[in-house]
Amino acid sequence: MSITQRLNRVLCLAALTGVSLVLAQPVRAHHSYIMFDGSTSKSVTGTVARLEWRNPHVFVWLYVRNSSAPGGYDLYAFENASPAVLVRMGWSKDVLAAGETITVEYWPLKDGRNGGHFVKATRSDGRTLPGVGGPGTGLTSPVITPGAK
């Protein structure tokens, strides 16, 4: 093999390695689910305050009644996957409306704050809206129950 052929092979290998590292960077940069307690799940019923449809993660904000709290409620925040992932699962930016009553099942935050990672929501008519990902799960492929908005 000539020197030129060897040099071409080395350069080609270096280029492939560089491209592989660049493509792997977004995966490495993503945060973990370490802040959530995946060993237990909780649920709360409340009123949707808003659906925050933004990258890198969608958040569902929920007012939960608490007569001893200022204003008579606590505000919970539930993290979910990115908009792009949720769209593939049947979500849209208007899948939950402010004022809608839902029960959210979630993996709580380890630090005790109100909220956690969204597992699923159950609407007042019984339809469910699944979450994606979470502690130790990787991404899953849930399906929204028939008739879900």
CA 67 to chain centre: 30
Confidence band of 2 (pLDDT split at 50, 70, 90)? confident
Give φ, ψ of 132 to 5 degrees. Answer: -130, 135
CA 44 to chain centre: 18
User: What pLDDT digit, counting tens, does each position of 94-109 carry?
Assistant: 999 999 999 999 999 9
The pLDDT value recorded for residue 58 is: 96
Buried b (16+ CB within 10 A) or exposed e, 110-139: eeeebbbbbbbbbbeeeebbbbbbbbeeee
CATH of 42-130, one of 3.90.460, 3.90.1310, 1.20.120, 2.40.50: 2.40.50
> Across residues 73-96, what is the average pLDDT?
94
Annotated domain spans of the chain: 1-30, 42-130
